[in-house]
Structure formats: C-alpha cells, structure tokens
Amino acid sequence: MTKVALITGGTSGLGAAVCKRLAADGYQVVANYLPGLEDQAHVWQKEFEQLGHTCSLAPADVSSDLSCQSMAKTLIEQFGRVDVLVNNAGITRDASLKKMSSDQWQAVINTNLSSLFNVCKPLLESMQQHRFGRIVNISSVNAQRGQFGQTNYSAAKAGVHGFTKALAQETARHGITVNTVSPGFINTSMVDAIPENLRNEIISSIPVGRVGEPDDIARAVRFLIDDEASYITGSEISVNGGIFMH
C-alpha cells in the first residue's frame, strides 16, 4: 500500500525538497499551503508534476486549530489515512526583545509551535488505529544555541523538540515514531534574506565550509520515516555542517 505523507509548508524551501524526495521514493505526497496562496501553490504543483511526480495540495492555516481539523478530515476521507506527517511550516519575525511586538511574538509561536498541536492531534487517532505513523518535526540550530533577535523563533523551535520527546513517549506503543530534524543554515529564501556580509561570516564559521542544501534536510527526513527506522523515536538529528555540536 502506498504511504500517504503530509508536509506542512510543502510548496517552498525545505518542504518542497521533502515533497520531491518522498514522491521520488513512491509516497503519495500532500503539500500543505496557506490559504490565499492558491495561485502560487498550483504553479508549484504543475512544475512538480513536470518533474514526473504527483502531488496533492491541502490548504490550511497551521496556526488555526479549526483549519487543521478540516484539513485532516478531508485527507482521511480522500486517502483513508495519513501515514507520515512532516511539520515543516515556519516563519520568522525577527527583532530584539526590546523592540519585538506582541504580534511578532504570537505569530511565530502560533505558526512554529502551536501548529504541531493543531496538525498532530486530528491525525493521531487514524495513525493509532492503523498501528503506524511517522512524525518528523522541523526545529532549528537556533533552538539549540539561541540567536540574537530571535527570542520568539528560538523559543518556538526549542519547544518543537520538547513536544517531540513528550509525544514520542505517548505514541510509541501504537507503532508511531516522533523525531526532530534541526537544520543549520540552509540555502533557502530565509538564509538569502540575511545581509551578504553577515552571511559570509556565518559560512566562514561552519566547519564544512558551506551552507546546507534543502536536499540535506530531505534525506534526514527520509531516513527517519523509513520502516527500518522504527527503533528511533524522541530523537533529534542535527543537520548543520558542524556549526553547533552538543
């Protein structure tokens, strides 16, 4: 039976790379995107299909509990189950805490952390019934080491791994594994937005001498969702080129 994989924030950046990797390996891929971005999502879907892959689209605001419940209901009605969930959707709203607004704080916490509750909860019952599930939560190196101007982002992404460890204990007996992948600086629009001089400083501090590629993250996700990774749960894999070791 073809496994169904839902990737939140799946139409760009790391999420798009995960979609491509899983589709190439035979998964039925479902890419979530934010409602209101239908045009961009459908353009991406056509480009994806031109590569020889198939992908379904699932609009939902991951910061909204009701929106995620609706998405989960639709997917289970359409496919019968969701076997793999990759919680990848995330945003930044950077500012020092002194200058950070409440809206900047809440937007990042809701999208990057509360989304895990919103998306996982309505899918768990189905995974438990089928005695199988793979959940991979995307965190960040900045959760591990902190980052100036990112108290909101660092706090949310640190919470991601706390969520992972607790949920892994609750679901292990049901054949469900829950793990975290923590990327370092990856070649995405988020890193491209960093001023060039600062970006060059960052690259010079990375032991392997380069930023990562989205495929580096996709390979880590693919490893964790494999049937043969069933004894790995509650773990965190750092994919950061050695910029932070612990």
Q: Residue 15 burial (CB < 10 Å; 0-12/13-18/19+)?
A: buried
- Position 191 scores a pLDDT of 77
Instruction: Respond yes or no: is residue 153 known to be catalytic.
Output: yes
Largest CA distance in the chain: 53
Residue 126 and residue 76: Cα distance in Å, rounded? 8
> Could you read off the pLDDT of 48-80 as tens digits, one per residue?
999 999 999 999 999 999 999 999 999 999 999
Domain edges within the chain: 4-238
The topology (CATH level 3) of 4-238 is: Rossmann fold (3.40.50)
* pTM for the whole structure: 0.96
Residue 109 and residue 98: Cα distance in Å, rounded? 17
Residue of 27, 33, 153, 231 with catalytic role:
153
Residue 190 clears pLDDT 90, i.e. is over it: no
Question: What does the chain come to in residues?
Answer: 246
- Which runs of consecutive H residues, i.e. helices, occur in the chain? 13-24, 38-50, 65-79, 102-109, 115-130, 141-145, 151-171, 189-192, 196-204, 214-225
